[in-house]
Amino acid sequence: MKKFWLLMSALILSLVLTACADSGEKAADTEKDPAPTEEEVKKSLVKFYMGLERSINAVDADLNAYESAKEPAAELKAKASESAAAVVAKIKEVTVPAELEEQKADI
């Protein structure tokens, strides 16, 4: 008789635990996590930096030439100044993507 009660108790306990676990999974499935994962943030950050680098490199060739020259000429200095102003304008145009809003302070 003790074996019968033990077997029935184990069966009922397993049914109760299965029922509780099943309803918890449904609730978790319906609830979406709006926050992006760390991997998604890293991908977005890399794309942002690569785009920023490309836009700056497109306008700073004269500035780089001036900085690498041993004895820069006055004409090279004027071009470098214009290039630096263009870089500043490009940086002011930069907008942080929506998925990186939480990391905006770090950028």
Residue 91 lies in a domain: yes
Residue 74 lies in a domain: yes
Global confidence as pTM = 0.54
Residue 92 lies in a domain: yes
* Total number of domains constituting the chain: 1
* pLDDT for the residue 8: 79
Residue 8 lies in a domain: no
Q: pLDDT at residue 24 above 90?
A: no
Contacts of 62 (CB under 8 A, 6+ apart): 76, 79, 80, 82, 83
Residue 32 lies in a domain: no
Token code pair at residue 39? 């991997």
Three-state DSSP state, 37: coil
Question: Residue 75: which domain range?
Answer: 37-99
Residue 9 lies in a domain: no
Residue 61 lies in a domain: yes
Residue 19 lies in a domain: no
- Lowest-confidence pick of 9-18, 19-28, 32-41: 19-28
| 41-61 as b/e: b if 16+ CB within 10 A | eeebbeebeeeeeeeeeebbe
The mean pLDDT value for 75-100 works out to 89
